[in-house]
């Protein structure tokens, strides 16, 4: 996939150039458009039975593969605000708090455009509102985003590597979480 303009959106010149994967530049009118990284969030949700809650993606890219709740950060929104919003939108429940885990780069191909992202990952905490019910049983998936939810007990890093995970950044975040949070008893 390539991100190419056929002509300058300002002066319509066909001489627009893509420079060093950084920006588009028009030598005729001086138009610059930087190819900045988009920001996104993902939430690692640990259920009461110590399983990780995944969703099956209902749309491309990577339709049918495992993901965690998340999405792009909106304008004028912090990563934390986006984490709360995305969790509520995709699962129907809002965490009590979120705890930062790590960030990883990602490639997000969508409708013939390749987006480079930096994905911020959080652990979603439901401990204040948690009752005897499993968290996954309280979730109502956003139909346009989620086919279904699946709870998976993570026992080792090899298992994470063998899961049919949609995005490499999510796999990296889960590996980081497993090594730095799960193994240390921190959720």
Please write the tens of the pLDDT for every residue from 7-62: 999 999 999 998 887 899 999 999 999 989 999 999 999 998 999 999 999 999 99
Q: In the structure, what pLDDT confidence band is assigned to residue 129 with cuts at 50, 70 and 90? A: low
pLDDT at 146: 96
User: Is the model's pLDDT at 70 over the cut of 60?
Assistant: yes
Other beta carbons within 10 angstroms of residue 21's beta carbon come to 8
Q: pLDDT tens, 90-102? A: 999 999 999 999 9
Spatial distance between the Cα atoms of 158 and 175, rounded to a whole number of angstroms:
9
pLDDT at 183: 61
Spatial distance between the Cα atoms of 112 and 176, rounded to a whole number of angstroms:
31
For the chain, give the number of residues.
187
- 99's CB contacts (< 8 A; 6+ apart) are 122, 123, 125
pLDDT at 112: 82
Spatial distance between the Cα atoms of 169 and 39, rounded to a whole number of angstroms:
12
Q: pLDDT tens, 144-159? A: 999 999 999 999 999 9
Range(s) within the chain of domains with CATH label 3.90.79.10: 39-182
Spatial distance between the Cα atoms of 1 and 140, rounded to a whole number of angstroms:
34
Secondary element (H or E) of residue 86: helix 79-91
- The answer to whether the Cα torsion of 75, 76, 82, 88 is positive or negative is negative
Q: In the structure, what pLDDT confidence band is assigned to residue 110 with cuts at 50, 70 and 90? A: confident
User: Is the model's pLDDT at 1 over the cut of 50?
Assistant: no
39-182: what fold?
Nucleoside Triphosphate Pyrophosphohydrolase (3.90.79)
């Amino acid at each position: 996939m390539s991100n190419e303009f056929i002509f300058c959106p300002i002066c319509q010149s066909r001489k627009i150039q893509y420079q060093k994967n950084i920006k588009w530049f028009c030598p005729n009118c001086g138009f610059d458009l930087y190819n900045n990284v988009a920001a996104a969030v993902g939430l690692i949700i640990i259920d009461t039975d110590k399983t990780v809650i995944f969703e099956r993606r209902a749309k491309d890219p990577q339709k049918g593969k495992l993901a965690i709740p998340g999405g792009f950060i909106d304008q004028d929104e912090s990563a934390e605000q986006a984490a709360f919003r995305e969790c509520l939108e995709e699962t129907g429940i809002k965490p009590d708090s979120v705890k930062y885990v790590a960030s990883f780069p990602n490639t997000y191909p969508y409708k013939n455009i390749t987006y480079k992202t930096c994905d911020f990952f959080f652990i979603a905490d439901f401990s204040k509102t948690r009752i005897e019910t499993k968290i996954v049983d309280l979730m109502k998936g956003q139909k346009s985003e989620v086919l279904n939810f699946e709870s998976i007990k993570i026992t080792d890093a090899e298992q994470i590597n063998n899961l049919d995970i949609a995005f490499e950044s999510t796999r990296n975040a889960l590996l980081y979480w497993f090594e730095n949070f799960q193994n240390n008893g921190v959720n």
